[in-house]
Amino acid sequence: MSAEEKCVKCGGTNMVPSELQSTGKMYARPKKAKLSTILTTGVLIRGSICLDCGHVDLSVDVEKIKAVSKAS
């Protein structure tokens, strides 16, 4: 794993990995992506929850979201 994650809100280090859930995993897609891209791809949203203050930090894979954005 990478360097220890810190909470951006309180600076706490008790971060635990999480996934947003609906009936399945949730994905982010750039608005400008082509329809075919929107229908077939998405970038998984990763989350980290701070056990000190409850802040949920969300992020996506930068390289993947760039690739999807360029597909239009």
Q: Is 10 left (phi over 0), alpha (psi -120 to 50) or beta?
A: alpha
The distance of Cα 47 from the centroid of its chain, to the nearest Å, equals: 6
Examine residue 47 and tell whether it contacts Zn ion (CB under 5 A): no
State which of residues 29, 46, 55, 64 lies at the interface with Zn ion (CB under 5 A): 55
Examine residue 56 and tell whether it contacts Zn ion (CB under 5 A): no
Examine residue 53 and tell whether it contacts Zn ion (CB under 5 A): yes
**Closest CB to Zn ion among 39 and 53?**
53
Q: How many CB atoms lie within 10 A of CB 18?
A: 14
Encoded tokens for 71? 């597909």
Positions that interact with Zn ion (CB under 5 A): 7, 9-10, 12, 50, 52-53, 55
